[in-house]
Chain A
Amino acid sequence: MAAASRLHLKLTQQWIADRIGGWTAPSSIARYAFFVLGAVAAGLIAAIFELLRVPGALFAAGVVMLAAAEWLILGKHLFHAGIEEALWAAGSLALVLQLVEPNIESGVSAAVLAAIALTLAGIRSLNPLFITLAAMVASLAIDLAGGTRLFGDARPAIAAAVFCYLTGMIALIAGRATFRRPSYDQMLNWLMVIMPLCGFLWLATQQALPIRLFTGFASAVFASAALIMGLRRRAHAPLIACIVSLLCVAYQLRDLTALPLKVKLMAWGSIALLLSLGLDRYLRTARRGITSRQIGKGSRALDLLQWVSATTLAPKAAPVDAPFKGGGGRGGGGGADGSF
């Protein structure tokens, strides 16, 4: 199925059909839609049990969701279809919520149980998102175990941040191993991209110099390691992890000069733009197999994301001191109003 997905082959082709044993998976775009529908269905199942005032409503709802997910996996042979993944995660979280409901204030046990539930959901459905969420919730549990309150506590979450950076580094190193299942590679990919960012975010609001030096240094080390490994392995995830970590480093260097924010934004943007243009030009001819050219058809989903992202940059604000124009306008004047 991984070959069919990566090489854009139809599951109905005989060679593929002979090897997938009746398992089936939708396209990635349909998978996202099924995930949304599954999550909404899970919420509605929980609501129905609550409205029926069934004793242990969340437990009952969780069991129903897990049973439905297992039926879809074992009975209908769905794999990475989105809906069974959403039902598995929601079902296991509903069970956890029922377990911790009487004393929800004890955040540590709730976080630990939620991390376990997400890990189980991730392993069962081979879903990298759940595994990454589990690691993030585990870092929250570590923070809460240190005596930090869930909200309004300004103490630095150093242990949680170190855990995140270490998890990211372990994922980066573990990527050297060859796994039989491409899904395991995906789990490591997500962990190596998200966890260092999560570690940085735990301490991003701290202004103390040692902490800023630590996060900046840790992100820089991670970015360097990820760049080297990404190029050696010819893998995208470490390179994306490198870019994300470099953004963290750039943020921590914000006080390097006394320049105003607008100048810094334009300067950093211009540097990144010039470097990218240079790299694009340099790699137009492949260097040791690395090229900036698009190979194959590319992904329609990424193209769509690119078009939508471009519109988010478009200025939408009305001229600052323009008179207010009511919504709907007049005489074909459109609907732009003073809120833009």
Chain B
Amino acid sequence: MEGQARILEGMHSLEPECLELRAAGVMDESAASQAAALERGAVFSVFEELRFVLYAAVASITAGLGLLLKENLNRIGPLALIAALALAAAGCYATALRTRMLGRTRTVGGDYLLLLGALIVSADLGFAETQFHWLGSEWQWYLIILAAFHAIGAYALDSPLVLSLALASLAAWFGIEGRISTNLGAHAVIYAATLLVWRAANKQLSGSAQFGAVFENFAANVGFWGALAWCLTPGMRLYGIATLSVLAAACIVKALRSGEAIFAVYGVTYSALTLSCLEAQIIKDSLSAAVFALMTVVGGALLLWNLSRRVKAAQA
């Protein structure tokens, strides 16, 4: 390996360090060889670049489709349009099903093709509901139907991306938006609890470990938004503080047990920022409020620092 020429020009290479690490026994032979090959440029993955372009492509198609449906396309007629979209979605699902039946692992391209299919189904079902009002005044049940459809698709085809869509549809059914509103607190906390129950049942449903990570991250974030919304709503602050405490404790315990730093970040950052907002609301004197908020943020940073070290130790 030492004799091989470097392919790269420029860019600082850590190949000598890889060799030293192997010699010191810190890395095993295969890991060191792979790392050295990457540093040397003998192996180069464009996986992330492809993922970026595929996302942009799917976003562009979905945006165009949204505009198409918004204009109703009376010339084509709703039935023809619904059928055409269903056919397109079926094509996308068919490739994923074929890969599954052949026992192959889906590539990143296949993942995004499946995501496109799921998004087309979402748009198609929404469009069909606007045209035919099958659910009448209970139209919001289409979001639950969508969530169920995507959940079944996600489990059948083992796709965390499609599972994310199922969770987004469920969040929409719960009325969770990207902004703080009066009702957000209760809805977000119930939604987070639902996800945790679902996460508990994940193994029985033969969901992968990645699904568990999707549930945990969504539940933590939305749960903290709910706590924040309650903390900022007069009359609900006690519920907010109680929820914040429980969630923060749960996230920190999770981080220390699993060695996943992101849960320590959730637990401390959301708590410090929420408490700072709360102090600004309840302390009348601006200077005192700012001093308390600064103490809270500094305390949060110290706690996060301490936890980061312990999480690293847990990883080791």
Interface residues of A in 20-41 (CB under 8 A from B): 26-27, 29-30, 32-34, 36-38, 40-41
Q: Give B235 Cβ to nearest chain A Cβ, in Å.
A: 16
B89 at the interface (CB under 8 A from A): no
Chain B residues near A302 (CB, 8 Å)?
A: 48, 51
Q: Give A151 Cβ to nearest chain B Cβ, in Å.
A: 27
Q: How large is the interface on B (under 10, 10 to 19, 20 to 34, 35 or more residues)?
A: 35 or more
Chain B residues near A279 (CB, 8 Å)?
A: 46, 50
Closest A-chain residue to B293, C-beta based? A44
B316 at the interface (CB under 8 A from A): yes
Closest A-chain residue to B32, C-beta based? A7
Number of A residues, CB within 8 Å of B: 113
Q: For B11, B260, B273, which residue has the most chain A Cβ atoms within 10 angstroms?
A: B11
Q: Give B168 Cβ to nearest chain A Cβ, in Å.
A: 4
Instruction: Tally inter-chain residue pairs, CB-CB below 8 A.
Output: 335
Q: Give the complex CA separation of A265 and B27 in angstroms.
A: 48
- The answer to whether B161 touches A310, judged by C-beta atoms less than 8 angstroms apart, is yes
**Interface segment, one of A102-110, A138-146, A266-274:** A266-274
- The answer to whether A311 touches B164, judged by C-beta atoms less than 8 angstroms apart, is yes
- The answer to whether B175 touches A336, judged by C-beta atoms less than 8 angstroms apart, is yes
Knowing A48-B291, A273-B61, the reply to whether A292 touches B47 (Cβ < 8 A) is yes
B284 at the interface (CB under 8 A from A): no
- The answer to whether B10 touches A314, judged by C-beta atoms less than 8 angstroms apart, is no
- The answer to whether B176 touches A296, judged by C-beta atoms less than 8 angstroms apart, is no
Interface residues of A in 100-156 (CB under 8 A from B): none
Query: Binary interface profile of A, 326-338, with partner B (CB < 8 Å = 1, else 0)?
Result: 0111000111110
Chain B residues near A301 (CB, 8 Å)?
A: 262
Question: 19 A-B contacts, Cβ less than 8 Å apart?
Answer: A3-B14, A10-B315, A12-B313, A44-B290, A47-B290, A177-B10, A185-B12, A234-B41, A234-B44, A239-B49, A273-B57, A291-B43, A291-B46, A306-B55, A314-B119, A315-B66, A317-B126, A327-B175, A336-B175
Contacts A30-B308, A176-B9 supplied; 19 other A-B pairs, CB < 8 Å: A2-B12, A7-B17, A26-B261, A32-B265, A37-B269, A44-B276, A175-B11, A182-B14, A234-B7, A234-B41, A266-B68, A273-B54, A292-B50, A300-B262, A313-B62, A334-B143, A334-B144, A336-B140, A336-B175
